[in-house]
């Protein structure tokens, strides 16, 4: 147990140091309308935006800066009309939804973010358009990168889910809510309390671990002692997920919000792709954390004990392994990994009360694909799902990309039910 704690703190300590990046915060005071114009991940400068009040009286006009940002302060809360002058857009860039004029409500004391989705002129309404004037090669490499990025986010959540399944046999439908917890916790610390994002992220991961430990301590451990059936527990986890998800809705409301920092970071050019540094940092963190956990699983005594419990709980107990302590450790690590995944997902797509549930199916797909209960299978499966999700947009509309990933899941189940790395055993 002590060793596990040491490993765990080492992982967290690494997070602390590796996330150490300078912070640039731009929180506006008072009511204003603001936004960042980006095409792919490149900021778009020099675009004229006009704001007028409900009756059409002009309030202000701005030009987006070099970082793509613009902001128009308004005197009071109310409804405003925002017009983007499409003639000032650079060559080859258009509004992908063809709505240059938006009417929006600004609330008391809040800066309202205005989104003008920009894309390459020939874009077909794609959500995350790649850099303007893309060649197929550039587009594919961009998708491969986002695929790997998404795959890593999924892998963090999937590893915990897979370990929990392996050790206690529970298919945990409430795992997505641990992911959301990480994102919401980070948002709370970062935006509401005002800590730097890096500190908030680390605290959120620690809190996620604590929630995992606590959940097992007071709830799942108790259910195990009552000898609740596995399918019963699975349906219970659905109830738990409902409770948590709507508790988040109750406390956080249904909006999608952004962290206070690193929201729209200009990309840096890396050969065929342009990547925002925040994404690269997150990738490095995720890879290192995943490697550390994998090493801990294979090299340490506790890792061996965890794998022993996965293979045969009774035999493990008979050989002197405390099965309950192992499962609690797995919940703690699973909670922390899920929280980290949530923090990263929040940076990737914004914070929302149901983000965890939305990614849960992809996580399940990844875990099933790799073989339920196999930790390394979960990693492979996650990358496959991440890549399948992104690359499928080459052929099918972006809005259907999750369908692509789920179809991959069903097809693989059809031909190799035990998953990519699963053992061939009876699962019928």
| Contact footprint for other proteins (CB under 8 A) | 125, 165, 169, 171, 223, 226, 228-232, 234-236, 238-247, 249-250, 253, 361, 364-365, 368, 372, 397, 399-400, 402-403, 406-407, 409-410, 413-414, 417, 427-428
* Residue with Cβ nearer other proteins (116 or 364): 364
- Minimal distance, residue 200 CB to other proteins, in Å: 25
* Residue with Cβ nearer other proteins (47 or 409): 409
* Residue with Cβ nearer other proteins (170 or 344): 170
Of 301, 291, 309, the closest CA to residue 376 belongs to 291
- Minimal distance, residue 419 CB to other proteins, in Å: 9
* Residue with Cβ nearer other proteins (3 or 99): 99
* Residue with Cβ nearer other proteins (75 or 227): 227
CA 72, distance to chain mean position in Å, is: 31
Of 148, 159, 181, the closest CA to residue 342 belongs to 181
HSE on the CB side for 356, CA within 13 Å? 34
* Residue with Cβ nearer other proteins (109 or 271): 109
* Residue with Cβ nearer other proteins (177 or 261): 177
- Minimal distance, residue 236 CB to other proteins, in Å: 5
Distances (CA, A) of 55 to 30, 80, 81, 99: 22, 9, 9, 20
- Minimal distance, residue 54 CB to other proteins, in Å: 24
How, if at all, do strands 78-84 and 101-106 pair?
Answer: antiparallel
- Minimal distance, residue 401 CB to other proteins, in Å: 9
- Minimal distance, residue 364 CB to other proteins, in Å: 5
Quick one: tokens of 244?
A: 């948590």
- Minimal distance, residue 428 CB to other proteins, in Å: 4
């Amino acid at each position: 147990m002590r060793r596990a704690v040491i490993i765990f703190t080492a992982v967290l300590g690494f997070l602390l140091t590796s996330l150490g990046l300078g912070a640039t915060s731009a929180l506006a005071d008072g009511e204003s309308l603001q936004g960042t114009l980006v095409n792919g991940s490149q900021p778009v400068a020099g675009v004229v935006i006009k704001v007028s009040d409900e009756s059409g009286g002009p309030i202000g006009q701005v030009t987006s800066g070099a970082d793509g940002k613009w902001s128009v302060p308004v005197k009071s809360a109310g409804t405003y009309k925002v017009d983007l002058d499409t003639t000032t857009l650079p060559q080859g860039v258009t509004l992908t939804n063809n709505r240059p004029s938006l009417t929006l409500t600004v609330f008391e004391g809040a800066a309202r973010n205005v989104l003008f989705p920009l894309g390459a002129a020939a874009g077909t309404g794609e959500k995350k358009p790649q850099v303007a004037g893309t060649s197929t090669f550039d587009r594919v490499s961009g998708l491969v990168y986002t695929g790997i990025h998404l795959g890593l986010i999924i892998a963090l959540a999937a590893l915990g889910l897979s370990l929990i399944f392996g050790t206690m046999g529970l298919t945990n439908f409430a795992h997505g809510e641990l992911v959301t917890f990480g994102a919401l916790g980070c948002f709370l610390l970062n935006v509401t309390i005002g800590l730097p994002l890096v500190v908030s992220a680390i605290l959120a991961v620690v809190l996620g671990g604590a929630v995992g430990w606590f959940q097992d301590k007071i709830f799942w451990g108790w259910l195990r002692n009552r000898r609740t059936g596995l399918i019963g527990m699975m349906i219970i986890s659905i109830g738990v997920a409902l409770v948590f998800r709507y508790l988040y809705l109750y406390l956080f409301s249904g909006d999608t919000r952004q962290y206070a920092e690193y929201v729209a970071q200009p990309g840096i050019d890396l050969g065929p792709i342009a990547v925002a540094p925040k994404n690269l940092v997150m990738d490095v963190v995720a890879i290192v954390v995943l490697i550390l956990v994998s090493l801990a699983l294979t090299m340490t005594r506790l890792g061996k004990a965890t794998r022993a419990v996965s293979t045969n709980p009774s035999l493990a107990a008979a050989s002197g392994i405390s099965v309950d302590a192992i499962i609690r450790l797995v919940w703690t690590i699973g909670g922390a990994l899920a929280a980290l995944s949530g923090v990263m997902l929040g940076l990737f797509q914004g914070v929302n009360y149901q983000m965890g549930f939305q990614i849960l199916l992809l996580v399940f797909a990844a875990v099933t694909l790799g073989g339920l209960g196999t930790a390394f299978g979960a990693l492979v499966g996650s990358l496959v799902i991440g890549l399948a999700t992104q690359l499928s947009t080459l052929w099918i509309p972006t809005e259907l990309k999750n369908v692509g990933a789920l179809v991959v899941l069903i097809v693989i189940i059809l031909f190799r039910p035990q998953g990519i790395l699963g053992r061939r055993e009876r699962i019928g």
